[in-house]
Amino acid sequence: MRLLTHNMLSSNIKGVTNGFPLRIEVEKVVEKQVEINHDFLRNIFPKIDWKAFFDASRVMGYAELPEEAPEPLVLESDLEFLRKFHHALLELHLEEGALVCPETGRKFPVNKGIPNMLLHEDEV
Amino acid sequence: MSSRPELQAPPEIFYDDTEARKYTSSSRIAEIQTKLSERALELLALPDDGVPRLLLDIGCGSGLSGETITENGHQWIGLDISQSMLNVALEKEVEGDLLLGDMGQGLGLRPGVIDGAISISAVQWLCNADKSSHEPRLRLKAFFGSLYRCLARGARAVLQVYPENLAQRELILSYAMRAGFAGGVVVDFPHSTKSRKEYLVLTCGPPSLSTTIPNGKGEDGESCSDDESSGDEENQTVCISDRHRPRKKQKINKRGKAREWVLRKKEQMRRKGNVVPPDTKYTARKRKSRF
């Protein structure tokens, strides 16, 4: 699971008011190289919750991202930033670990890169 | 005709390792799924600006539809309830991220983050009450509600479905509308029992030019409008056509297979979407006895 997906996922448990962001527990991180696409990065940037993204990248062991979200204009010209953004968003994979609901502490296990988001009967 | 999969077992049990295997080994299944995915992407009507979007693949299964999305240059997140099917997707090393989850429990995605959603042959599974705690209506409500929320303004969802009957189709549609979606049903090849395919094309946000629903495919793959449309509101065309079963018993001339009968049959085949040689002066001409 990449941080792109993590940034979109929220806890769906009944009664939870704010299930975003899910805390990451890392057991195994894998890096997979992927071709960079500037258009995609510029398009997705406004949708990214930067704080959650920054915190998650730190947990995954990547410390190159700036803590403050840059101005959108930065994306037009700063190739170095785009490279770091691309790396953290699309090239870091959580292979084994868990996602934790911020309110209930319930763990969603991650195996082979796939988070198990199935809710139990009483959580629906 | 074999029973519908939806009537045999819940999806997480029906799609076990053996069934999942078929999705890698059967070229026929792969071909059909790919065609459906391409058509769904077409109906998604994403802007043609070369910018990759973030799409959702609901019921992504073995990743066949996801691969089509990748081929079209977009990023995607796939959701499926069957671990066996997702394992096949893992083997294929698909580009999209996979989630093990139940769409009837809600999609669990942040509001407004998805640029488009497709679903191939999956949503009708919501209509089955597999567990006593499953109420199909609640599941449909959770699914469509969460889908509507996670889509960006102006985004579309295209759901290719196999409803069991008219009642199921109406049920699915009504919950989509209740969630706030506008849109309608596009039917390709409505006259053929085999080739007929239904797509729910749902739009988010205010009605505009972008929410006009395209026509379904008919003869020779060209666009044709359906025979019956019901509930024609502004940008809310719901075209539902009943299946026109081709007459099984053709009146055969006592004199044998006359030209008129042959021409009629050829027309029928064309309407089904088959490739038929053109009608010429040689059609149904009496051949020499040795043929």
- pLDDT at A100 (0 to 100): 95
Is B261 a member of any domain? no
Confidence of residue B146 (pLDDT cuts 50, 70, 90): very high
Is B80 a member of any domain? yes
Confidence of residue B202 (pLDDT cuts 50, 70, 90): very high
Is B188 a member of any domain? yes
Task: Assess whether pLDDT exceeds 90 at residue B212.
Answer: no
- Of all residues in chain B, the one with the smallest CA distance to A12 is B108
Is B113 a member of any domain? yes
Exposed, middle or buried by CB within 10 Å (0-12, 13-18, 19+), for A109?
middle
AA letter at A116: N
Distance CA B70, CA B56 (A): 12
Q: Name every chain A residue with its beta carbon within 8 A of the beta carbon of B100.
A: 114-118
- By a Cβ cutoff of 8 Å, what residues of chain A touch chain B? 1-2, 4-5, 7-12, 19-20, 37, 39-40, 43-44, 47, 49, 90, 112-119, 121, 124
Q: What are the helix (H) ranges across chain B?
A: 11-14, 17-25, 27-44, 64-71, 83-91, 136-150, 166-178, 259-272
Question: Of B179, B181, B79, which is closest to residue B138 (Cα–Cα)?
Answer: B179
Distance CA A40, CA A68 (A): 21
Is B47 a member of any domain? yes
Q: B177 is in which domain, residue-wise?
A: 5-204
- pLDDT at B226 (0 to 100): 41
* B 167-196 near A (Cβ less than 8 A): none
Confidence of residue B95 (pLDDT cuts 50, 70, 90): very high
Q: What is the pLDDT of residues B50-88, one digit of tens each?
A: 999 999 999 999 999 999 999 999 999 999 999 999 999
Is B170 a member of any domain? yes
Q: What is the pLDDT of residues A42-100, one digit of tens each?
A: 999 999 999 999 999 999 999 999 999 898 888 888 999 999 999 999 999 999 999 99
Structure tokens at B159: 């759901």
Is B257 a member of any domain? no
Please state which of the ranges A59-68, B54-63, B204-213, B270-279 shows the lowest mean pLDDT: B204-213
Is B219 a member of any domain? no
The CATH number for B54's domain is 3.40.50.150
Distance CA A111, CA A28 (A): 10
Structural domains counted in chain B: 1
Distance CA A85, CA A36 (A): 10
